[in-house]
Amino acid sequence: MGGCMMHPQSQTNKEKIKVLVVDDHPVVRFGLIHFINEDEDFCVCGEADNAHRTLQAIQELEPDVAIIDICLKGQSGIELIKNIKVRYPELPILAFSMYEESIYAERLLCAGAKGYIMKQEGCDKVIEGLHQVLSGGIFVSTKIMSKIMNKYIENKPCTSGSPLDVLSDRELEVFRLIGQGYGTRQIAKELFLGIKTVETYRAHIKSKLQLHNSSELVQYAIKWGQSMFVS
């Protein structure tokens, strides 16, 4: 699963902070690992591409911090983060995504992540985010932090104000895949669910969003996906 490597020019007694990188795209993992290992404070102690390997890596490698993509096969990053926080409550987690933070950031903070960063951000933001969550802070944009603070002051529930707040985390993942053009069978395969289970989720989503048929559901999901994806 990998190990921390010290560069020849930085051979010191300083022990680097161990980072676990979780992403199901090899190219993304490779680039992220290379960049983190170039930093004087951090080294990547391991990598994983799904929930099972992530939990195994945490147990075996004992990372100091984890950076986790929210879109993983079989189990969403949201569910994975919830599971990690039950087993390893002290492990700081920085969520990582290609999606704009307005929907996912607060949901992930509620799940137990300490920060949210979009993949479109500069590499320096990754290092900044890792330092922030390790220090006990929260790493999100000023806009999202202001919304969270306003809700805290007004004693409102942890939501984004989106119509999709009514969806469970799993329903949101199914909705996201519908918006990407996945059919029921494809979603079942992607999330390791039964076809009937996916059909039940689709029915719940339609009911909660007050959509009348599957055509409206697909159109809504596609429109939402286009608005959330940051190019």
HEC string of 81-139 equals: HHHHHHHCCCCCEEEEECECHHHHHHHHHHHCCCEEEECCCCHHHHHHHHHHHHCCCCE
For residue 3, tell me if it sits in a domain: no
Last residue of a domain, which of 122, 153, 184?
153
Do residue 37 and residue 101 come from a single domain? Answer: yes
Last residue of a domain, which of 90, 119, 153?
153
Higher pLDDT among residues 93 and 24, named by residue: 93
Higher pLDDT among residues 189 and 162, named by residue: 189
Percent of the chain with pLDDT over 70: 85
Domain span at residue 224 reads 163-228
pLDDT of residue 192: 85
Of 73, 51, 64, 74, which Cα lies nearest the Cα of 94?
64
For residue 111, tell me if it sits in a domain: yes
Do residue 56 and residue 104 come from a single domain? Answer: yes
For residue 36, tell me if it sits in a domain: yes
Do residue 198 and residue 139 come from a single domain? Answer: no
Do residue 149 and residue 168 come from a single domain? Answer: no
For residue 2, tell me if it sits in a domain: no
DSSP character at residue 12: S
Last residue of a domain, which of 88, 119, 153?
153
CATH number at residue 168: 1.10.10.10
The identity of residue 65, as a single letter, is: V
For residue 1, tell me if it sits in a domain: no
* Predicted TM-score (pTM) of this structure: 0.74
For residue 109, tell me if it sits in a domain: yes
User: Is the pLDDT reported for residue 9 higher than 50?
Assistant: no
> CA–CA separation, 140 vs 25, rounded Å?
23
Collapsed DSSP state (helix, strand, coil) of residue 50: coil
For residue 32, tell me if it sits in a domain: yes
CATH number at residue 67: 3.40.50.2300
Question: What tens digit of pLDDT does each residue of 35-75 get?
Answer: 999 999 999 999 999 999 999 999 999 999 999 998 887 77
Do residue 98 and residue 41 come from a single domain? Answer: yes
Do residue 167 and residue 116 come from a single domain? Answer: no
pLDDT tier at 128 (50, 70, 90 boundaries)? very high
* Owner of token pair 């390893």: 88
What are the angstrom distances between the C-alpha of 214 and each of 148, 203, 206, 209, 217? 34, 9, 8, 12, 5
Look over the chain and give the mean of its residue pLDDT values, rounded to a whole number. 85
DSSP character at residue 14: P
pLDDT of residue 3: 57
DSSP character at residue 178: H
DSSP character at residue 9: G
Of 229, 11, 1, 35, which Cα lies nearest the Cα of 130?
35
Percent of the chain with pLDDT over 90: 54
User: Is the pLDDT reported for residue 117 higher than 80?
Assistant: yes
**119-128, 149-158, 207-216: least confident range:** 149-158
Do residue 15 and residue 119 come from a single domain? Answer: yes
What are the angstrom distances between the C-alpha of 112 and each of 64, 68, 80, 138, 212? 15, 12, 10, 11, 34
Count the domains in the chain: 2
Do residue 215 and residue 102 come from a single domain? Answer: no
**Residues 51, 3: contact at Cβ < 8 Å?**
no
User: Is the pLDDT reported for residue 152 higher than 50?
Assistant: yes
User: Is the pLDDT reported for residue 231 higher than 50?
Assistant: no
For residue 34, tell me if it sits in a domain: yes
Highest mean pLDDT among 107-121, 152-166, 216-230: 107-121
Do residue 179 and residue 120 come from a single domain? Answer: no
